[in-house]
Amino acid sequence: MQLATVAFDKFQHLEEQACEQRILDAKAKLGKRLVILCHHYQRADVYKYADLTGDSLKLSRLAGQTNAEYIVFCGVHFMAEVADILSRPEQIAILPDLAAGCSMADMANLAKVERAWRELTEILDPDEQVTPVTYINSAADLKAFCGEHGGIVCTSSNAGKILEWSFSRREKVLFFPDQHLGRWSGYKMGIPLEQMLVWDFDEPLGGHSVEAVKNAKMFLWKGHCSVHQMFQVQHILRFRNQYPDGLVISHPECNFEVCKQSDFVGSTEYIVRTITDAKESTRWLVGTELNLVNRLADQLKAQNKVVQFMAPTVCMCSTMARIDPQHLAWTLENLAGGKIVNQITVPAHEAELAKLALQRMLDVS
Ligand code: 13P
Ligand code: SF4
């Protein structure tokens, strides 16, 4: 018998407390058949239901290791796609709100990347000379493109190692969609800034001359994360002025000057570990998403640590925040009732090639 889906509008106006009861009841009913993965940026009222938490790299590993039948991903769309690709065929990846996308991931698409590749082909032999590297914040078809063209995926935890791997095979890298992670990682491995060209995908040849393309080491896709662009050098200078002993830590999606002025730069997992393991009574200025910074501030108060958000304005990942307790309750109650909602399925051919690029990354890191 076909079971009917419970419509979301019945959940839309539920109070948090009512959601909580329904989430806990559904969780109890599903037991080990369900695992809830939460990214560090997830809002507190959803994060508290996580079975497993982490940054993008850790979560993609965990997605491939869990035995649960349902992997409910409280993150953004590309993360649920990775869970689908790396899990076993009988496992089901679910995103509680399909509108939870990543605006940076949307800044690159297959048609534009293929166009860039074609343009490079007029000057170089890209399949011999250019490794395509996609940040994990990208759609599955771009990961598949990398799989097909000898390329690889990276996360903010392993971008340095992935670039070393890429340059050991080919002399140039096309890095998409985040120019900032690409630039910072290239800079850390000693590539001069003038050999890293921003590839403007709306301009012929990315906006460069044939000569410039021939001399470049990296082509940095003109993409960025709007959350991390809110952090500015002046915020760091003001903090240093006020607290000369304070420490500054940033995510590599921040702009180059912010990364350069920071004492530490790394992924969300690195940020959590560094501040947690630091000496007691230290003060931190943190350049990453607000939910994570608030959580750290709260957890580390007991160690007398002060954890401060870098920007004076609110910078949240508003798309990830679309996954609210109402959507989680709706998803789990449907699952507990035998109805799958919001399944994320990457087409088989695309998944196979994307997996190749993801597996290369997991092997290198
Ligand atoms: P992490 O790789 O640190 O999890 O970052 C992912 C992300 O989307 C940051 O904006
Ligand atoms: Fe995407 Fe930025 Fe949100 Fe990260 S913080 S998921 S890069 S929009």
Over the stretch 216-258, which tens digit does the pLDDT of each residue have?
999 999 999 999 999 999 999 999 999 999 999 999 999 999 9
CATH 3.40.50.10800 domain locations along the chain: 8-99+319-346, 105-226, 228-309
- Measured in Å, residue 122 CA sits from the centre of ligand 2 at 34
* Architecture, CATH, for domain 228-309: 3-Layer(aba) Sandwich (3.40)
13-19: long-range pairs with CB below 8 Å, 24+: 13/326, 14/325, 14/326, 14/329, 16/45, 16/325, 19/325, 19/326, 19/328, 19/329
As a whole number, mean pLDDT of residues 269-297 equals 97
Q: CB of 317 closer than 6 A to ligand 2?
A: yes
Q: CB of 315 closer than 6 A to ligand 2?
A: no
pLDDT of res. 35: 97
Distance separating alpha carbons of residues 250 and 310, to the nearest angstrom: 9
Identify the band that residue 46 occupies on the pLDDT scale cut at 50, 70 and 90.
Answer: very high
Q: CB of 254 closer than 6 A to ligand 2?
A: no
Give residue ranges with CB within 6 A of ligand 1.
Answer: 55-56, 137, 155-157, 225, 253, 267-268
Which residue has its alpha carbon closest to ligand 2 atom 1? 102
pLDDT of res. 362: 95
Share above pLDDT 70 across residues of the chain, in percent, rounded to a whole number:
99
Indicate whether 64 pLDDT > 90. Answer: no
- Measured in Å, residue 100 CA sits from the centre of ligand 1 at 14
pLDDT of res. 2: 53
Fold of 8-99+319-346: Rossmann fold (3.40.50)
pLDDT of res. 57: 87
**pLDDT tens digits for range 205-226:** 999 999 999 999 999 999 999 9
**pLDDT tens digits for range 325-351:** 999 999 999 999 999 999 999 999 999
Can you tell me which atom of ligand 2 is nearest the CA of 41?
Answer: 5
Q: CB of 113 closer than 6 A to ligand 2?
A: no
**Which of 254, 270, 278 has its CA nearest to residue 262?**
254
Can you tell me which atom of ligand 1 is nearest the CA of 57?
Answer: 2
pTM of the full predicted structure? 0.96
CA-to-CA dists, residue 217 to 91, 156, 176, 192, 209, angstroms: 41, 20, 14, 9, 14
Identify the band that residue 67 occupies on the pLDDT scale cut at 50, 70 and 90.
Answer: very high
Q: Tell me the CA end-to-end span of the chain in Å, nearest whole number.
A: 46
Task: Please answer whether residues 198 and 178 qualify as being in contact, where contact means their C-beta atoms are separated by less than 8 angstroms.
Answer: no
pLDDT of res. 4: 80
Which residue has its alpha carbon closest to ligand 1 atom 4? 55
Task: Please answer whether residues 250 and 268 qualify as being in contact, where contact means their C-beta atoms are separated by less than 8 angstroms.
Answer: no
Indicate whether 3 pLDDT > 80. Answer: no
Ligand closest to 56 (CA) is: 1
CATH classification (class only), 105-226: alpha beta
Indicate whether 1 pLDDT > 80. Answer: no
Average pLDDT score over the chain = 97
Of residues 61 and 265, more confidence is placed in 265
- Measured in Å, residue 211 CA sits from the centre of ligand 2 at 34
pLDDT of res. 138: 98
Beta-strand ranges (E) seen in 49-165 are: 52-54, 70-74, 92-94, 130-135, 152-154
- Measured in Å, residue 162 CA sits from the centre of ligand 1 at 16
pLDDT of res. 317: 97
